[in-house]
Amino acid sequence: MEKKDLDWAGLGFGYVQTEQRYVSNFKDGKWDEGGLTEDANIVLNECAGVLQYAQTCFEGLKAYTTEDGRIVTFRPDLNAERMFDTAKRLEMPPFPKERFVEAVKAVVKANAAYVPPYGSGATLYIRPYMFGTNPVIGVKPAAEYQFRIFTTPVGPYFKGGAKPLTLCVSDFDRAAPHGTGHIKAGLNYAMSLHPIVEAHNAGFAENMYLDAATRTKVEETGGANFLFVTKDGKVVTPKSDSILPSITRRSLMIVAKEYLGLEAEEREVYFDEVKDFAECGLCGTAAVISPVGKIVDHGKEICFPSGMDEMGPITRKLYETLTGIQMGRLDPPEGWIVEIK
Ligand SMILES: *Cc1c(COP(=O)(O)O)cnc(C)c1O
């Protein structure tokens, strides 16, 4: 298969239309058999449930070219499971998990020419999503839905090295207790746009959200979970029912324990403790881990000893080990790497 002639290393994180996408429709109480299409556009009724009451959710994962030239995805079964849970919370018909994984494989295979080559630093981003399609004006769940997956090649996240980020503690809340913070719903992102625009205008890369009920505990940013490293080398991640369960973060906790022999703990993290950590990172599919150098809380600065020039040493080891697994340089745990054939 001939690769597309794209400037892989020069790609950003933007939409580049690829040739095929997957579509399945839910009607009369069941999902149809689904399939690939070249049509990138969606025609909807003006009163579609997604347009009126934001009944939509999504997932995000990547396909990689390994060192030995295979195309693989990373733990797509966990994306299938998380989208299943999200759909249930939004009163949407869950897309069957096995079919989700098969659809991911089909759409990546159909766009294999867009999977960036090994060593370019670029990857193929995969975006599954679902939305209510029939007219809904009285507030209720839609009766008809569409599930789609498109792919788009994205460039290396860290161009010219991973520069540590500066975050600010947000005055806004991301997720209410017993709300929707733990599911990947578009609505969580819609309400985060104003806080992120304000943070960017003030010169910060991301918001650190605290728990809405007490404003004393660390939750996450708009789109990534926190990992901290203590001064004695233990990896700590916040535990909360209103955090989105990041697959990257869950995988890094296993990498810390099984590959690096570190202690790794998921527990409540009070904001007051943050100043005592040695390293801080943000984890998600896009960057794996972005190092955080500084957190500003209403003028008070917390500066991590790892500094503003490079990743902390344990953050770097975690990053290198997980990307090593994803790129086929290290042996993966059972079931983590799914090859597209
Ligand atoms: C998607 C997402 C993450 C990262 O999850 P991954 O599965 O690691 O990509 C973290 N926080 C939020 C709010 C998210 O939506």
**Tens digits of residue pLDDT in 53-64:** 999 999 999 999
Distance, in Å, from the CA atom of 208 to the CA atom of 295, rounded to the nearest integer, reads 8
Residue 211 has pLDDT above 90, yes or no: yes
Q: Is the CB of 148 under 6 A from ligand 1?
A: no
Whether residues 297 and 183 fall in one domain: yes
- Among the atoms of ligand 1, which is closest to the Cα of residue 247? 7
- C-beta 240 within 6 A of ligand 1: no
Residue 290 beta carbon below 6 angstroms from any ligand 1 atom? no
Contact 44, 51 (CB under 8 A): yes
Q: What is the tens place of the pLDDT at every residue in 157-173?
A: 777 678 999 999 999 99
Give pLDDT, residue 101.
Answer: 98
Q: Is 143 found in the same domain as 216?
A: no
Question: Among the atoms of ligand 1, which is closest to the Cα of residue 251?
Answer: 8
Judged on CB neighbours under 10 Å (0-12, 13-18, 19+), 339 is exposed
Tell me if 247 CB under 6 Å of ligand 1. Answer: yes
The total number of structural domains that make up the chain: 2
Query: Are residues 137 and 194 both part of a single domain?
Result: no
Task: Supply the CATH number for residue 267's domain.
Answer: 3.20.10.10
> Residue 143 above 80 pLDDT?
yes
Question: Does 184 sit in the ligand 1 pocket, CB within 6 Å?
Answer: yes
Q: Could you tell me if 111 and 225 lie in one domain?
A: no
- CB distance 133 to 142 below 8 Å: yes
| Residue predicted with more confidence, 160 or 311 | 311
154, 174, 191 — which closes off a domain? 154
At which of 127, 154, 181 does a domain end? 154
- The protein residue whose alpha carbon is closest to atom 12 in ligand 1 is 223
User: Does 87 map to a domain?
Assistant: yes
112 plus 173 within the same structural domain: no
Average pLDDT over residues 45-50: 98
What pLDDT is recorded for position 262? 98
Q: Which entry of 62, 184, 217, 294 is annotated as an active-site residue?
A: 184
Distance 189 CA to ligand 1 centre (A): 11
Q: Average pLDDT over the chain, rounded to whole?
A: 96
Q: Is 225 in the pocket of ligand 1 (CB under 6 A)?
A: yes
184 is catalytic: yes
Task: Say what the pLDDT of residue 55 is.
Answer: 98
For residue 161, the model assigns a pLDDT of 74
Beta carbon of 181 within 6 Å of any ligand 1 atom: no
Tell which atom from ligand 1 comes closest to the C-alpha of 284. 8
Q: Domain check: are 249 and 311 in the same one?
A: yes
Instruction: Give pLDDT tens digits for 83-100.
Output: 999 999 999 999 999 999
Closest residue by Cα to atom 2, ligand 1, is 223
Domain end call among 96, 124, 154: 154
Residue 188, pLDDT above cutoff 80: yes
Q: Which atom of ligand 1 is nearest to the CA of 79?
A: 7
- Whether residues 169 and 138 fall in one domain: no
Same domain, 188 and 308: yes
pLDDT of residue 162: 84
333 lies in a domain? no
Return the residue whose CA atom lies nearest to atom 4 of ligand 1. 284
> Rounded to the nearest 10 degrees, how much is the dihedral formed by the CA atoms of 143, 87, 131, 129?
-150
C-alpha distances (whole Å) from 243 to each of 237, 266, 273, 301 are 11, 12, 19, 24
Give me 117's structure tokens.
């080559």
pLDDT band at 312 (very low <50, low <70, confident <90, very high): very high
* Containing structural domain, residue 87: 8-154
Does one domain contain both 216 and 239? yes
Residue 115's pLDDT is what? Answer: 97
What pLDDT does residue 187 have?
Answer: 97
Domain assignment present for residue 336? The answer is no
Specify if 160 maps to a domain: no
Q: Same domain for 150 and 289? A: no
- Is pLDDT at 1 greater than 90 in this prediction? no
Per-residue pLDDT at 234: 98
Q: What is the mean pLDDT of residues 98-125?
A: 97
Whether residue 171 is found in the same domain as residue 303 = yes
